[in-house]
Structure 1
C-alpha cells in the first residue's frame, strides 16, 4: 500500500481541482495515504500578499488551506488516510522564517524545495545575467544542503529539479552531489522519488537513477510523490517508480504523521 505525498490544487494558480478531488482520486487508485501539499506562499520577494500569482497561494490563504485539509481528512476518514502537508520554497537566509512558519501549523510533513536562487526561478529558460550553468548548479546544491540543515523540512523535493530547463551541466555523480547527499543523511531528511519527470517528457523521474543510487548507498530514506497538478495524475507512474526503487536497492519507503517518520515495506 503506497503513499503519494506530493500533490497540488487550484490555490497555487497552475493546478486544477479541489483538495477533496485529489483525496478521492487516491482512494480510487488504492493508495493507503494521500498527502496534500500545495505550494506555500512566497515570502522572500517582498510583502506583497500575492507576489507571484499563478505560482503559489497568497500569503493570507494559508490558514484557510490548513482548515480545508482538515475538513477533507475528516470527511474521507475510512476511505483513505489524508496527511496534511505543504511544499515550501527554501531560500538561503530564510531559515528562521521557515522553521517558525510550520512549527505550529499541525502538519504531518513539509516538503522543502529549491525553486529559487535569490529572485531567479530555476524554471526560467535563461540563466541569470553573467552566470554559468556550473555556478548555478553549485549554488543549487549548496542551497539544497542548507535546506536540509535548516531543520524546517521532512522531505527534500525533486532533488535534481534544476535539470527541468537543462541548467545542470553534468548529470553524472559529481563530488558536490556526493557531498550534498552526505548532508541529507546527516540531517536525517527524506528524499522523494517524484514521478512528474516522466510526464514532463524528461524520460526519467526526479532524481534520476544515478543520483537515486547515491542516496541509497548513503542511507537516505525515500518516499513517493506524483507532483500531480490534476486529480487524474495522483499515483501516476508508481508502478515504474517501485520497479526503479527496488532495482536501486530500496525495500522501504517513508511515511509521516505529526512530523514523525516511519518506514514501511515497499510492496
Structure 2
C-alpha cells in the first residue's frame, strides 16, 4: 500500500537533525510516495529566544530553497513544501503578512503553548503538578478549539491530544472534550492527522487516542498520517500502524494533500 507522511522535520530547528536531502533520501529508501516537510515556523525571541522550538527567521528562505532544490532532483517522490505553525492565541506577538503562507502546500496547525506555557516541555513539567491535569486538559482543548476555529491558514491539525504526552490524565471522562474538538474541526473543514510519534512518549499511544479518532471519523473529518520525524531514520516510523489505527476507528481511506492545494485519497487495505 502507498505510504505517506505529511508531518516531518529537519535540522533547521534546534531540536531536529538532518538535512532536507537526508530526509528525502530516507523517505525514498522507505518507499514513501508523498513526503511533506513541515519545519517549525519561526517564533518570536520572547517566546523562543534560542530558536529551539522554531527555526530562526533568517533560515526560512534557505529552508524553502533546499526543498525546492530537492524537488528538482528527485522525481520518484512527491515532496510538499510545508511548515508547522504554532497557535498562540492572545499571546501571539508575531505579525504575519497577508500572503505569508501562500507558498506552503501544507500548514500544520499545532498547539504547544497554553497561555504561553509550553506544556509539553520536559523542563517545565512542574506546572502540571501545581495546577493539576483536570484544569490543564480543559484549558488545552479550549485553546485547541480556538485554533481550529481561527482564521489562521491551517490545512491539517497536528497531534490533537498532545496534552496527554506525559501521561497526565484527567480524573473525568474526556469524551465531552473530544466531542467539542470534533465539532469544531467539522465546522472548520480542516483535516486532522494520526501522529505516530505518540507511541514513543509516556502516554504510549498515538495522537489522537482511539476514542478521539473515532469521534473525528463520526464527524466526517478527513484524516492523514504523519510520523513527526525529527531525524531522517524515523521518517517512516509506524505509518502502517497509523493506517490500522484509522481503520479501527472507522476510516476506510487516508486523505493526502496535493501540491495544487487539493486532496486525494488512498484506500486502506
**TM-score (ref. length: structure 1):** 0.89
Find the aligned partners of 1:70 and 1:108 in 2 and give their Cα distance: 12
Find the aligned partners of 1:45 and 1:96 in 2 and give their Cα distance: 10
Q: Structure 1's 247 and 174: CA in aligned 2 closer, same or farther, altered over 3 A?
A: closer
- Pair 1:112-2:109 in alignment: yes
Preserved contact between residue 109 and residue 154 of structure 2 (Cα < 8 Å): yes
Find the aligned partners of 1:9 and 1:130 in 2 and give their Cα distance: 34
Find the aligned partners of 1:109 and 1:101 in 2 and give their Cα distance: 14
Structure 1 residue 205: Cα displacement: 0.5
Determine the structure 2 residue equivalent to 1:224: 225
Find the aligned partners of 2:49 and 2:70 in 1 and give their Cα distance: 28
Q: Structure 1's 68 and 210: CA in aligned 2 closer, same or farther, altered over 3 A?
A: same
Determine the structure 1 residue equivalent to 2:25: 24
Q: Structure 1's 143 and 97: CA in aligned 2 closer, same or farther, altered over 3 A?
A: farther
- How many residue pairs get aligned? The number is 262
Find the aligned partners of 1:168 and 1:38 in 2 and give their Cα distance: 29
Structure 1 residue 242: Cα displacement: 1.5
Find the aligned partners of 2:73 and 2:171 in 1 and give their Cα distance: 47
Preserved contact between residue 225 and residue 243 of structure 2 (Cα < 8 Å): no
5+ residue gaps, structure 1, are: none
Find the aligned partners of 1:99 and 1:148 in 2 and give their Cα distance: 20
**TM-score (ref. length: structure 2):** 0.89
Q: Structure 1's 34 and 130: CA in aligned 2 closer, same or farther, altered over 3 A?
A: same
Find the aligned partners of 1:258 and 1:91 in 2 and give their Cα distance: 28
5+ residue gaps, structure 2, are: none
Determine the structure 1 residue equivalent to 2:140: 140
Structure 1 residue 129: Cα displacement: 9.0
Determine the structure 1 residue equivalent to 2:268: 266
Find the aligned partners of 2:71 and 2:143 in 1 and give their Cα distance: 33
Q: Structure 1's 86 and 158: CA in aligned 2 closer, same or farther, altered over 3 A?
A: same
Structure 1 residue 43: Cα displacement: 2.8
Which shows bigger deviation, 56-65 or 121-130? 121-130
- Pair 1:64-2:66 in alignment: no
Structure 1 residue 120: Cα displacement: 0.8
Find the aligned partners of 1:95 and 1:216 in 2 and give their Cα distance: 35
Find the aligned partners of 1:146 and 1:261 in 2 and give their Cα distance: 24
Which shows bigger deviation, 191-200 or 159-168? 159-168
Structure 1 residue 21: Cα displacement: 1.0
Q: Structure 1's 210 and 126: CA in aligned 2 closer, same or farther, altered over 3 A?
A: same
Determine the structure 2 residue equivalent to 1:82: 79
Match runs of 1:168-247 below 5 Å: 168-169=169-170, 172-247=173-248
Q: Structure 1's 41 and 142: CA in aligned 2 closer, same or farther, altered over 3 A?
A: same
Match runs of 1:159-170 below 5 Å: 159-169=160-170
Which shows bigger deviation, 119-128 or 33-42? 119-128
Determine the structure 2 residue equivalent to 1:156: 157
